[in-house]
Amino acid sequence: MSHKNHQILIIGGGTAGITVAAQLLRKSKGLDVAILEPSEKHYYQPAWTLVAAGTFNYKDTERDEATLIPEGAVWIKDFAEDINPENNSVTTRSGDVITYQFLVVCPGIQIDLDGIEGLRETLGKNGVCSNYTDPNYTWEVLQNFKGGNALFTQPTGPIKCGGAPQKIMYLADEYFVKTGVRDKTNVIFATPGTVIFGVKEFAETLTKVINRKGIILKFYHKLVRIDGPNKKAIYELTATDESNCIVTVNDDNNVIQEDVVGKTTLTIPFELLHLAPPQSAPDFVKKSKITHQDGVNQGWVKVDHYSLQNPDYPNVFALGDVAALPTAKTGAAVRKQAPVVVDNILKLIAHKTADNKSYTGYSSCPLVTGYGKMVLAEFGYGNKRMSDPLISTFVNTTKEQWSMWILKKYGLPFLYWNLMLRGRI
Q: For residue 365, indicate whether it is catalytic.
A: yes
Task: Considering the candidates 106, 129, 245, 365, report the single residue annotated as catalytic.
Answer: 365
Check pLDDT > 70 for residue 247. Answer: no
How many domains is the chain partitioned into structurally?
Answer: 2
Higher pLDDT, 204 or 244: 204
Closest CA to 221 of 192, 254, 246: 192
The strand order across the sheet containing 248-249 reads 128-129, 272-275, 148-153, 185-190, 216-218, 248-249
The residues near 413 (Cβ < 8 Å, ≥ 6 apart) are: 44, 46, 47, 60, 61
The residues near 132 (Cβ < 8 Å, ≥ 6 apart) are: 48, 111, 159, 160, 164, 276, 277, 279
The residues near 390 (Cβ < 8 Å, ≥ 6 apart) are: none
- Mean pLDDT, to the nearest integer, of 359-388? 94
Domain boundary among 262, 278, 294: 278
Our CA angle for 255, 260, 266, nearest 5°, is 95
Residue 71: inside a domain: yes
Band of residue 252 on the pLDDT scale cut at 50, 70, 90: low
pLDDT at residue number 250: 66
- Domain co-membership, 69 together with 40: yes
- Domain co-membership, 247 together with 128: yes
Task: Considering the candidates 106, 129, 161, 245, report the single residue annotated as catalytic.
Answer: 161
Residue 177: inside a domain: yes
Band of residue 242 on the pLDDT scale cut at 50, 70, 90: low
Task: Kindly report, residue by residue over 8-28, the tens digit of the pLDDT.
Answer: 999 999 999 999 999 999 999
pLDDT at residue number 26: 97
- Domain co-membership, 123 together with 267: yes
Distance between CA atoms of 185 and 172, rounded to whole angstroms? Answer: 11
Residue 381: inside a domain: no
- Domain co-membership, 235 together with 271: yes
The residues near 398 (Cβ < 8 Å, ≥ 6 apart) are: 201, 202, 204, 205, 375, 385
Residue 406: inside a domain: no
CA distances from 248 to 252, 259, 261, 266 (A): 8, 14, 17, 13
- Domain co-membership, 133 together with 103: no
The CATH number of the domain holding residue 267 is 3.50.50.60
Domain that holds residue 149: 119-278
- Domain co-membership, 227 together with 310: no
Domain boundary among 355, 380, 400: 355
- Domain co-membership, 130 together with 269: yes
Task: Kindly report, residue by residue over 277-306, the tens digit of the pLDDT.
Answer: 999 999 999 999 999 999 999 999 999 999
Q: Is the dihedral of CA 118, 124, 129, 134 positive or negative?
A: positive
- Domain co-membership, 194 together with 235: yes
Task: Kindly report, residue by residue over 389-419, the tens digit of the pLDDT.
Answer: 667 677 888 999 999 999 999 999 999 999 9
pTM of the model: 0.94
Q: For residue 106, indicate whether it is catalytic.
A: no
Task: Kindly report, residue by residue over 46-93, the tens digit of the pLDDT.
Answer: 999 999 999 999 999 999 999 999 999 999 999 999 999 999 999 999
pLDDT at residue number 395: 82
* 23-32, 256-265, 311-320: range with lowest mean pLDDT: 256-265
CA atoms within 13 A on the CB side of 181: 18
